[in-house]
Amino acid sequence: MNSWHRFYTVAFMILIQLKPIKDIKEVINRYTKLYNQEKEKTTTVQKMTTSQHDMYVKWFDDLRSTDVGIVGGKNSSLGEMTSQLAQYGIPVPPGFATTSKAYWDHIEAAGLKFVIKSELELLKDGKKQLADVGRTIRKAVSSAPLSPDLEAAICDFYRQLCERCGDDDLSVAVRSSATAEDLPEASFAGQQETYLNIRGDHDLLQACRDCFASLFTDRAITYRNEKGFDHNEVALSIGIQQMARSDRGASGVMFTIDTETGFPDVVLINASWGLGENVVQGTVSPDEFLIYKPTLKEGMKPILRKKIGEKEKTMTFTRGAGATVKNIDTPKSRRRRFCIHDDDAVVLANWAKKIEEHYSERRGIKTPMDIEWAKDGKTGKLYIVQARPETVQSQDSGAQLIEYKLSEKNPPKPLVTGTSVGQKILHGEVCIVHDAHDISTFKPGCILVSEITDPDWVPIMKQAAGIITDHGGRTCHAAIVSRELGVPAVVGTGIATEKLKSGQNITLCCDGSDVGKIYEGSLVYEKTVTDLKDIPSSKTKVMLNIADPDSALRWWRLPIDGIGLCRMEFTVMEHVKAHPMALAHPEKISDPEVRKEIMELTRHYATPAEYMVETLARGLGTIAAMAFPKTVIVRMSDFKTNEYASLLGGADFEPEEENPMIGFRGASRYYSPRYQDGFALECKAIKYIREVLGLTNVIVMIPFCRTLSEADKVLEVMAENGLKRADDFQVYVMCEIPSNVILAKEFSERFDGFSIGSNDLTQLTLGIDRDNENLAELYDERNEAVLTLIRSVIATAKQCGKKVGICGQAPSDHPGFAELLSDAGIDSVSLNPDSVLPVRQRLAAYEAKYGHGSKVGNKVLERLADIEKNIESAVKKVVFHPKDTLIDMEKTIEKAVGYVVHTHAQ
């Protein structure tokens, strides 16, 4: 009901109360006449202003992504989603946007053009500081009244929005959308302001004026200068959008790409209680979900990672004292549980995938997206509230693989850890800054340490060598800006400002793992840069040895043919953390404190056993996703008893052994009453990977299988747990015991393939404990006895039509070993990541010259052995003259060696 209509209605009711009955007819006639006159007048005004309203304000429904010049990147994207994605069931809260014409007309009518131009010229000429210029312009813009036409248009559309949403006092978000932001090649976090929980005409109009003013924040002015945008050509549109009641629910950010590695097949979701500003600003450490896009379909829940965050604060609505929102401490009970359900995460990931597909089709190029979402706590409904192109990883050509790693094999315990952002290791001096007002105290080139960052911190973030924060997740302000700047960061440490001291020398380590580490002092590290262009192929498949899910995605660009060895033990040790039998039978744990610790560890799951299955499946599934759809061979657990005993609760389930290396390990555990229930959980995890995550590229491998009867028992137990050999599910066996070679034909009748474990095979063939440093000189996979066994099993496997590969260290450690295997006809070699490219190049060159399985290499190897012996003999025969200098001796030796090599070359 319009205001004039309300007025006359009230007046009419008063008159009825005051006038005698005989005068009511006269009152009605008078009221009707006034009503009709006002209605006719209003209709005329509406006709006159409709065209003006259209020039100044547009509904999201009428906008498309091509309208950036009219309403900016943010609002044009909201229009695109509102108008185009409803067909996919993706809900976007309704709203409208002011146009760039509204901005320019306002600037002109309010006389602001001269102020803006003159102030910016003073800045350009160095006659005035940035902070003073920005403050002067913002004050002028925010205090200048909007034109009557623009005010009328905004208020009219707001009233229509209230009516549309069924709320006369609708709460809206008022967001800035510059015509030069949120482009695929130009974006920066938090340039302009956003105002939440705005109600009523008066507050809405003030928020609009403040949004216009925020086009001239210090960071926005600096950004446009750096990007080469003309200040006089960048306008600001304002988006006014219904707010989902996420203050009573949850909200967050998601990316359709892995933000650290650029892996394109995942959706990364960050979530926290309340309004989403806390996630964006990094005020909280959010919950995190990583979901695999290719297997997102009905019935599948491909959640690869699920990590609970602290969610320290909750932003809610408030009124009074000029505030519209406030932050409260999140109750402990809420901090200890996820703020959205798995089903919510899957729904969001599906929407994110469809949004990415839509924008990619519109642009004609793959377009990863940065998306904000909200869950209404009153209705339980999910909404998409913003979407923009991702601008860091999507711009990486991927032509090079850059790797950082610490040189020390056993580095010291880190001072603090957090979420890793970027890939780099560096040394630096700590500079702690607690408040944005103190940023002038920051020393350029130091490592910035703070509780959080927001857009006001950007000037010193640009001067920092690295960044460390107490709070925040992968999608917080500190993380986003760090990626934009190419500066490594460790966010969400919780305690960095307490543990570290200004002036302290540290090593900031973001080596590709999900976990960033801060070490005392300057640790030695290595940097390698690998060109990924024009990598040749070989008939011998080159696969990868891998164990750590946290760093798996960093290798997605490597030219591999699959994963030849995925070690389960690392995931059990670092992710599951408890002994499988302790999780299968927590009632058998003798120590009450250990039992309590396991209950705490597994509190988010119905049972400890379910925790084991899902946690193990997700860790291994992350590795499998990196290589999908190529084959991933997961080796079932192969801990030794002393290693198992070190797991939480392990002491109650493991015997003490004199020599665990050849003790109760591998296949012998799987059918034993001592571990059979633990193995059942391993089998369920594999089923979960294939059937719930949808990663059917996973097959399994049985380690340390000593006898044929043992093989039969293991396969029977696996079948009982739902893992039965079939055309679409293969089971390999490790060939690492001489009996596996001697009975290779019989083993091939039970298994689908062999993977040679050269480490244990060498140990057991030569009778050497590979961990005994006194015998290290004798331990060599190139020993002829070992090579004979390797050639034998390859030949038998080929005769039986079975696949055969190698996953031991030898091809990674010894140049020429992979060529020897190719020569013998092996199907694949599985290597450590740093060996993939050099070995692939050598194999390609070798096979181009000699072919695959040509047997030429045997003769080559024999000749190399002869050369080695002849060189040794020649050097022994060298006679030195008493007056020879060291240089003379070197020349004599070189001459003798050269003669031997030349003779063999002939």
Q: Among 604, 197, 193, which residue's Cα sits nearest to residue 374? A: 197
For residues 421 and 542, the answer to whether their CB atoms sit within 8 Å is no
CB atoms within 10 A of CB 390: 22
For residues 782 and 765, the answer to whether their CB atoms sit within 8 Å is no
Q: How far apart are alpha carbons 598 and 589 in whole angstroms?
A: 10
- E-assigned strands of 473-627? 489-491, 505-510, 515-520, 525-531, 541-546, 563-567
For residues 312 and 329, the answer to whether their CB atoms sit within 8 Å is yes
What are the CA-CA distances from residue 441 to residues 432, 444, 459, 487 (Å)?
Answer: 9, 9, 12, 20
For residues 629 and 728, the answer to whether their CB atoms sit within 8 Å is no
Q: How far apart are alpha carbons 650 and 41 in whole angstroms?
A: 85
705 flagged as catalytic: no
Name, in order, each residue with C-beta under 8 angstroms of 408's C-beta and a sequence gap of 6 or more.
523, 524
* Token output for 682: 């391993």
Name, in order, each residue with C-beta under 8 angstroms of 236's C-beta and a sequence gap of 6 or more.
72, 100, 103, 176, 177, 178, 179, 192, 211, 212, 214, 215
Q: How far apart are alpha carbons 897 and 877 in whole angstroms?
A: 11
How many degrees, rounded to 5, is the angle at CA 857 between CA 851 and CA 858?
140
* Token output for 328: 């409260």
Q: How far apart are alpha carbons 545 and 794 in whole angstroms?
A: 20
477 flagged as catalytic: yes
For residues 380 and 374, the answer to whether their CB atoms sit within 8 Å is no
* Token output for 332: 């402990």
For residues 763 and 779, the answer to whether their CB atoms sit within 8 Å is yes
Maximum CA extent, the chain: 145
Q: How would you classify the pairing of strands 369-375 and 382-389?
A: antiparallel
The catalytic residue among 476, 477, 566, 683 is: 477
For residues 562 and 624, the answer to whether their CB atoms sit within 8 Å is no
Burial class (CB in 10 A: 0-12, 13-18, 19+), 436: middle
CB atoms within 10 A of CB 494: 16
Burial class (CB in 10 A: 0-12, 13-18, 19+), 263: buried
Q: How far apart are alpha carbons 807 and 541 in whole angstroms?
A: 12
How many degrees, rounded to 5, is the angle at CA 527 between CA 525 and CA 533?
165
Alpha helices in 85-199 (DSSP H): 100-109, 113-124, 130-143, 148-165
In one-letter notation, the amino acid at residue 562 is: G
Q: How far apart are alpha carbons 89 and 284 in whole angstroms?
A: 30
Q: How far apart are alpha carbons 448 and 485 in whole angstroms?
A: 14
Q: How far apart are alpha carbons 712 and 205 in whole angstroms?
A: 77
* Token output for 217: 């924040």
For residues 466 and 491, the answer to whether their CB atoms sit within 8 Å is no
Handedness of CA 410, 416, 421, 427 (dihedral sign): negative
Handedness of CA 88, 90, 96, 102 (dihedral sign): negative
Q: How far apart are alpha carbons 409 and 420 in whole angstroms?
A: 20
Instruction: State the helix-helix crossing angle for 100-109 and 68-84, rounded to 10 degrees.
Output: 150
Q: How far apart are alpha carbons 409 and 714 in whole angstroms?
A: 36
Provide the annotated active-site residues.
Answer: 477, 807
